Amino acid sequence: MTRATRTAAARPAGAPRSAAAPRPARPAASRPRRRGERSTAASVALHGTLLAASFVALFPVAWLAWISLGPDKTDFLHAGEIAGKVSLSNYTTVLSDTDFLHWVGNSLIVSLGTCLIGVFVSASAAYAVSRMRFPGHRQLMWTFLVTQMFPFAILIVPLYNILAGLDLLDTYWALIAVNLTQAVPYCAWLLKGYFDTIPHEIDEAGRVDGLTPFGTFWRLVLPLARPGMAVAAFYTFLTAWAEFAFASVFLLSSDKYTLPIGLATFVSEHDQQWNLMAATGVLIAIPAAAFFYLVQRHLVTGLTAGAAKS
């Protein structure tokens, strides 16, 4: 017999059915946090850290841009007073009264040359190590890694002697060559991990179609590796664009100066033109930002694609 039947039998005939007694309200249970979901405190701490890091990263750039608007070379000492005399005269002076445009041309020659040669060489080496098994293929990648362990300072003298023996001092090829020694090892490791993620069936299909190994690499694999190539191109371009140590030693004549060397001419022992230096720094960042804009849609994919398989 159910509870409802027993209750009806115990109630006298004709007695009114009483209303059911209200049940006590239960406290609303809080929603359980899903696995991997951050708590409110953790989210606040994370966003606060990101905001602080963004401020640290952006403040020097904003400060440089603000100082560049001060017409006097001592305005950096009183940055608050620049608001009353904002001027673009520093940019006009840099563009019209200095060799800035010539420095830009020199830097583009060195940077684009390093970018094109560096990406091709590193991609070729990475593809060979990823797809082919030849004596020393593992040692080749470790050799690339070992070359990155030496600081720039101890490489300047031997590289200077080598370039002097080859009669390459004070040439664009000198800077391109030394920049390649820094860019190719990193890009080869980067692209090797990316090529490992491309199925080997692509190479087999190329061989079936009668392509040579280089034809398979050039016509089939490289188009699929476009995100990784974009990262390598961006890295090699910036390596040459902002390089100062080698350029200051290997470039002997002023007509070969690149942007970092030209930028240093505004500050000397007897004169410090910080306002012109700030304006030049802002102008130097524009081509790098434009190059980043051209390849930025491939950067995230290229940086993460080789992370799961190396």
Per-residue model confidence as pLDDT tens digits over 266-305: 887 777 888 899 999 999 988 888 888 887 776 666 555 5
Q: Residue 112 above 80 pLDDT?
A: yes
Contact 287, 259 (CB under 8 A): no
pLDDT tens digits along 136-195 = 777 777 887 787 788 878 888 899 999 999 999 999 999 999 999 888 988 988 898 888
Buried b (16+ CB within 10 A) or exposed e, 262-279: bbebbeeeeeebbbbbbb
How wide is the angle at C-alpha 147 spanned by C-alphas 299 and 187, nearest 5°? 15
What integer is the mean pLDDT of 10-36?
A: 55
Shortest CA distance to 246 belongs to which of 263, 236, 258, 238? 258
| pTM of the entire predicted model | 0.77
CA distance 89 to 275: 10
Residue 79: pLDDT band (50, 70, 90) is: confident
Residue 307: pLDDT band (50, 70, 90) is: very low
| pLDDT score of 31 | 60
Residues 6 or more apart whose Cβ sits within 8 Å of residue 222: 123, 229
Residue 122: pLDDT band (50, 70, 90) is: very high
CA distance 71 to 92: 11
Residues paired with residue 272 on neighbouring β-strands, in sequence order: 267
In a 13 Å sphere around the CA of 298, the CA atoms on its Cβ side amount to 18
Q: Residue 36 above 80 pLDDT?
A: no
How wide is the angle at C-alpha 145 spanned by C-alphas 225 and 310, nearest 5°? 40
Shortest CA distance to 233 belongs to which of 283, 292, 178? 292
Q: For all residues of the chain together, what is the average pLDDT?
A: 82
Shortest CA distance to 222 belongs to which of 139, 140, 239, 213? 213
| pLDDT score of 148 | 77
| pLDDT score of 309 | 46
